[in-house]
Amino acid sequence: MMRHLISAADLTRDDAVLILDTAEEMARVADRPIKKLPALRGRTICNLFFEDSTRTRISFEAAEKRLSADVINFAAKGSSVSKGESLKDTAQTLEAMGVDAVVIRHGASGAPYRLATSGWIDAPVINAGDGTHQHPTQALLDAFTMRRRLVGRDAGIGKGLDGKRVTIVGDVLHSRVARSNVDLLHTLGAEVTLVAPPTLVPVGVESWPCEVSYDLDSTLTKSDAVMMLRVQRERMNAAFFPTEREYSRRYGLDGDRMAKMPDHAIVMHPGPMVRGMEITAEVADSERCTVIEQVANGVHTRMAVLYLLLGGNEPAVTHTRTEGN
């Protein structure tokens, strides 16, 4: 039984489909005048952000508030962490305050796992991105967006992404989004191809359940979804490619490249976009680009995860349920 959401690889197919189906129902709440449900009333959730991320934090906060939870936001900057307090001390402080769940973003890969398994804290831990390791709710919102666009809003209920071809392009080496997506998309039955300069492909990628290519143009024609990754300048501590212009020419998505994709294919981006480098404004503003949808879907998906992990006296995920088809 799963109490925490640390990695997209931990999710079974049934769990993942249950989360996506629940998110679909949560999305309906967003259409109402009162966008609030009482499911987590009286529960306190702490958003523990050791690394800046306005977008993910706001998304979690919106999801928590729509489920009526009490929210504590903790940013490491300006807190005791900058005075040298350890993760353990922070966790024990939260435990003493009676926090019911912790959403954690940390620059170090494995910090959420440590928090969940150390015994410092008894509450469920949800990984909101750790180092270059995992970002499971991002993978879930991406899968949700793909299922909606490629299978259909109602037609997709109970289904995975079987047979869909997804191409993930860019800095795979530093990308927790790419890792999480490869795991989850594989679980849901999609075929994933990673496209990156050889210097930005991680060691050991041959053990991942995906294909690897260095040539973007040849994969575009057979993709149902193309996911562009952000070139993370802050992680570029070595020369991974000669110039930004060269990267852009070989791995950037522009209008001409988008025209090679099948008509139904969508362009995705986890944001924030660096326009002109990995994606041109023409593509970013086109109807096929789902960036804004992904942001909205992030709230629905996170509501589903929070409800399924915290809504009852024990989590629904990886439990007795196998209904649906």
What are the DSSP calls for 42-78, one per residue?
T-EEEEEESS--HHHHHHHHHHHHHTT-EEEEEESTT
Three-state SS across 92-119? HHHHHCCCCEEEEEECCCCHHHHHHHCC
Binding range to other proteins, per CB under 8 A, among 25-33, 110-118, 122-130, 137-145: 25-33
Is beta strand 101-106 parallel, antiparallel or unpaired with respect to 70-75? Answer: unpaired
Cβ at position 50, least distance to other proteins in Å:
29
Is residue 18 a contact point for other proteins (CB under 8 A)? yes
H or E element at residue 125: strand 125-130
Minimum CB separation of residue 101 from other proteins in Å reads: 13
Kindly write out the interface string for residues 300-319 of this chain, putting x where it contacts other proteins by CB under 8 A and - elsewhere: -------xx--xxxxxx--x
CA dihedral 30, 40, 8, 264 (to 10 degrees): -10
Residue with Cβ nearer other proteins (55 or 321):
321
Q: Nearer Cβ to other proteins, position 207 or 313?
A: 313
Radius of gyration for the chain, computed over Cα atoms and rounded to the nearest angstrom: 19
User: Can you say whether the dihedral through the CA atoms of 52, 55, 60, 61 is positive or negative?
Assistant: positive
Site membership for other proteins, residue 37 (CB under 8 A): yes
| 273 vs 308 by CB, closer to other proteins | 308
Told to check if 14 binds other proteins by CB under 8 A, we report no
Which residue from 10, 14, 25, 282 is in contact with other proteins, where contact means CB under 8 A?
Answer: 25
Instruction: Report the nearest approach of other proteins to the CB of residue 20 (Å).
Output: 12
Partnered with residue 319 across adjacent β-strands are none
Count of residues of this chain found to bind other proteins when the rule CB under 8 A is applied: 25
Q: Is 325 in the site for other proteins (CB under 8 A)?
A: no
Among 38, 78, 119, 198, interactor with other proteins by CB under 8 A: 38
Report how far residue 92's alpha carbon sits from residue 134's, in angstroms, rounded to the nearest whole number.
24
Shortest Å, Cβ 79 to other proteins: 31
- The position carrying tokens 């039984």 is 1
Q: Residue 199 carries which DSSP code?
A: G
Applying CB under 8 A, which of residues 12, 13, 36, 118 lies at the interface with other proteins?
A: 36
206 binds other proteins (CB under 8 A): no
Contact residues toward other proteins (CB under 8 A) are 18, 21-22, 25-26, 28, 32-34, 36-39, 307-308, 311-316, 319-321, 323
